[in-house]
Amino acid sequence: MQRETNMNTVQSIAMLLLLALPGCNTSQAEPKGPPILGKTKTQNVLLVTTDGMRWQEVFGGADSVLMDKKNGGVQDVVGLRGEFDRRTPEDRREALMPFVWGVMAKKGQLYGNGNAGSVARVTNGRNFSYPGYNEIFTGAADPRIDSNNKFPNPNVTVLEWLNRLDGFQDRVAAFGSWDVYPYILNRTRSKLPIVAGWEPLRGERLTDEERMLNRLIAGTHRVWTDNCYDAITFNAGLEYLKRHRPRVLYIGMGETDEFGHGGRYDHYLHSAHMVDEHLRTLWQTVQSLPEYRDKTTMIVTTDHGRGNAPDEWKSHGADIAGSDKIWIAIMGPDTPALGERTHIAPVTQSQIAATLVGVLGLDYRAFSPKAAPPIASALPKGLVRD
């Protein structure tokens, strides 16, 4: 009995110490109920990321300094310039991302053009993937997240929290090209349906398209062992949306970062251009379905930035200048159509979680007070204060 008493005392002390750790969400494991922020039109949210894509390309299009063999590893310089080189930054960015600039910029808002007085940045100080995704999904930086190693995230993410609420249970899902997502989203604890890396799609009644994707997953040559091709990841997520109609769907693509590290600017641009095409397909799909049409908000962003041309664009991290700068695009029925934001106060990666929940009319900070507030200008006027 004395041994049991001592053990209980030790366990109690250990739990108190755990709760005292910075950023620990253990005490917030069970939400008491959906905290209401206000009434909105949004009923569904699509969150899409493209890993390590620079704000410079989003707002300025292809960088002429990198469209060569020396700085950008480009194999067909003439062909690449014909695809993406234009006279002005506005024309170049539209050539690279026609959906973002032809639709999202007209119907929503874009943040992060550092040349126009709009800064979007990470707050974790690490400027690489796991810390960035943790910040996106939890609304706060956590000093314990200091590597890209595969360890279960101690923090409850916004996806896990939503999945526990009435009306969202079993209607939240995630698809990611990188095989670390099951740890970032803590699949064991969260019970979220997550397909990541080269994992096959599972289920008793897979569609013909899903069976084809499984054949591709099994039979395709893998350039990266830990990162699946974006086309497979995206189409797996799209088929899930068609079949299961989730209210919140995350799709995380990774080729832009892989090709950036590889110093292949041609592949980097082609992957970014294809991400834009995936966004178009995703948006057209939800607009064709009655339960999503005019009831869905799309948020697009990245986990970190990259260094500057001509050399450091291949890298990112705490010691690479500029890799803390990101970009955010938001479009939906509750986001005022203000287009590209210029000369405004900085926004942060940590605001994405509360913004995602805010467009649903809910208050994420009631669950996680440490989370940054939502981006007020992306929500209906008066819903939150600037």
The 8-class DSSP code of residue 30 comes to: S
State the average pLDDT over residues 31-43: 81
pLDDT above 90: percentage of residues in the chain = 88
Residue by residue, DSSP assigns 130-144 as HHHHHHHHHSS--TT
CB 249 within 8 A of CB 241: yes
CA distances from 93 to 98, 202, 334 (A): 8, 38, 26
Whether the predicted model's global pTM rises above the 0.85 cut: yes
What is the per-residue pLDDT for 19? 38
pLDDT of 8 reads 39
- Residue 197 near residue 210, CB atoms below 8 Å: no
Does 29 score more than 50 pLDDT?
A: no
Q: What is the dihedral of CA 210, 212, 216, 217, to 10 degrees?
A: 30
**Band of pLDDT at residue 37, cut at 50, 70 and 90:** confident
Neighbour count for residue 71 (Cβ, 10 Å) = 18
What string of DSSP letters covers 83-96? Answer: HH--SSHHHHHHHH
CA distance 300 to 314: 22
Sorted by sequence, the CB contacts under 8 Å of residue 241 that are 6+ apart come out as 249, 282, 285, 286
Residue 342 pLDDT more than 90?
yes
- pLDDT-derived band at 385, boundaries 50, 70, 90: low
Between 384 and 85, residue with greater pLDDT = 85
2 burial via Cβ count (<10 Å: 0-12, 13-18, 19+): exposed
Let me know: does 353 contact 127? Beta carbons within 8 Å.
Answer: no
pLDDT digits (tens, 9 = 90+) for 278-296: 999 999 999 999 999 999 9
Share of the chain above pLDDT 70, in %: 91
DSSP 266-290: HHHHHHHHHHHHHHHHHHHHHHTST
Which pLDDT value is given to residue 137? 98
Q: Which residue has the tokens 């000369």?
A: 343
pLDDT digits (tens, 9 = 90+) for 162-182: 999 999 999 999 999 999 999
* Interval 24-43 mean pLDDT: 68
Q: What is the mean pLDDT of residues 75-94?
A: 98
The mean pLDDT of the chain is 92
pLDDT of residue 227: 98
d(CA 214, CA 196): 13
What is d(CA 337, CA 201) in angstroms, rounded to the nearest whole number?
37
Give the per-residue pLDDT at 27: 39
Backbone angles phi, psi at 81, to 5 degrees: -65, -35
Cα–Cα distances (Å) from 249 to 96, 175, 193, in that order, read: 25, 8, 10
Amino acid occupying residue 64: S
Tokens representing residue 331 in the block: 């479009």
Catalogue all structural domains in the chain, each as residue range(s) with its CATH number.
36-378 (3.40.720.10)
Residue 189: C-alpha distances to residues 17, 132, 153, 332 (Å): 21, 20, 9, 31
Q: Which DSSP letter does residue 36 get? A: B
Q: List pLDDT tens digits, range 133-159.
A: 999 999 999 999 999 999 999 999 999
pLDDT, one tens digit per residue, over 312-329 is 999 999 999 999 999 999
Q: How much is the pLDDT for 6?
A: 39
Structure confidence at residue 207 (pLDDT): 95
Q: CA 379, CA 360: separation in Å to the nearest integer?
A: 10
| 178 contacts 207 by C-beta, under 8 angstroms | no
Q: How confident is the model at residue 364 (pLDDT cuts 50, 70, 90)?
A: very high
Question: What is the mean pLDDT of the segment spanning 12-18?
Answer: 38
Residue with the two structure tokens 């755990």 = 18
Contact 333, 355 (CB under 8 A): no
Question: Tell me, what DSSP letter sits at residue 156?
Answer: P
Beta strands in 33-154 (DSSP E): 44-50, 109-111, 120-121
List, for residues 193-249, the tens digit of each pLDDT value: 999 999 999 988 999 999 999 999 999 999 999 999 999 999 999 999 999 999 999
Residue 252's SS3 state is: strand
Angle between helix 265-287 and 77-84 (nearest 10): 30
Distance, in Å, from the CA atom of 250 to the CA atom of 370, rounded to the nearest integer, reads 23
